[in-house]
Amino acid sequence: MTDREVTEPPRLRHVLPFEATPAGVPMLRRAAVKQLGRWSTSMATDEAELLVTELATNVLKHVGEGVSAALVLEWGGGRLRLEMHDGNRVLPILRSANCDEECGRGLHLLAALAADWGTALTAAGKAVWCEIEVDSTGTCRRLVRAAEVLENYQGASAALTRSGHEAALEESAIELIADLLHWTAAHGHEPVDVLYRAQMYYEDGVGAA
């Protein structure tokens, strides 16, 4: 019997320097999307664009305009990892979900969109990182799961004859949202607040595109 060394598959890695300015945020986002295209993971760009924007904006707002930072992209093992490195050693704090934009809303967005996220001190400062799950075809797994939920959702109109697949999914999405609002109310949450937070995430995603 011979010994075999077990190693993880190699991860692709790319570093993008970033100057924290309002003009630098969209430039960094475009550079990240371009790199994802080279790695054939362009189907994950919707979430990646939003997360890159939040990571870069957090540096601009909470570390300072004009500071130097770097975005590290890593791809491998079914996950896309984004790390924002800066020279400040103060770690951000995830506060109440009802806080305003100045007290950590970006972290709530990371927590909502990413499969995993965290912070770490480094030799030069700190890193804020997050990961997106991507399947073998380059499709974001969150989008795949959403499609599967709608495909299998048995709403009130499931037994009705529908004219087309897209119309069926649209109706299922509406009914699913309504059912989820009933669930939040039954568990002591305010449906209006839930809708507001969902709308906030949606508008952030549209603005990052």
**Distance of alpha carbon 32 from its chain centroid, rounded?**
14
- pLDDT tens, residue order, the chain (209 aa): 344 444 455 679 999 999 999 999 999 999 999 998 888 776 677 778 888 988 999 999 889 999 999 999 999 888 899 999 999 999 887 665 444 444 455 676 677 777 888 999 999 999 999 998 876 555 555 555 566 566 666 554 544 444 455 666 677 777 777 777 777 777 677 778 777 777 776 665 545 44
Q: On the CB side of 5, how many CA atoms lie within 13 Å of its CA?
A: 3
Structural domain span for residue 96: 12-133
pLDDT for 177 equals: 77
Phi/psi of residue 48, nearest 5 degrees: -60, -45
CB-based contact 171:150 (threshold 8 Å): no
Position 85 scores a pLDDT of 97
The pLDDT value recorded for residue 89 is: 93
Q: Are residues 125 and 97 in the same domain?
A: yes
Give the pLDDT confidence score for residue 70 in this predicted structure: 97
Looking at the structure, do residues 81 and 41 belong to the same domain, yes or no?
Answer: yes
CA angle 70, 126, 55 (to 5 degrees): 50
Alpha helices in the chain (DSSP H): 24-38, 45-62, 105-113, 141-152, 165-186, 191-208
Residue 3 in domain: no
The pLDDT of residue 45 is 75
Does residue 58 lie within any of the structural domains? yes
Per-residue pLDDT, 161: 42
Q: pTM score, two decimals?
A: 0.61
**Are residues 168 and 124 part of one domain?**
no
The pLDDT score that the predictor gives to residue 28 is 95
Q: Is residue 105 part of a domain?
A: yes
Q: How many structural domains are present in the chain?
A: 2
Q: What is the pLDDT of residue 145?
A: 57
Element (H, E) at 85: strand 79-86
| Residues 94, 40 share a domain | yes
Give the separation between CA 56 and CA 18, rounded to whole angstroms. 8
Residue 139 lies in a domain: no
Domain boundary among 99, 133, 167: 133
Domain assignment of residue 79, yes or no:
yes
Confidence at residue 71, expressed as pLDDT on a 0 to 100 scale: 97
In a shared domain, residues 70 and 112: yes
Is there a single domain that holds both residue 193 and residue 105? no
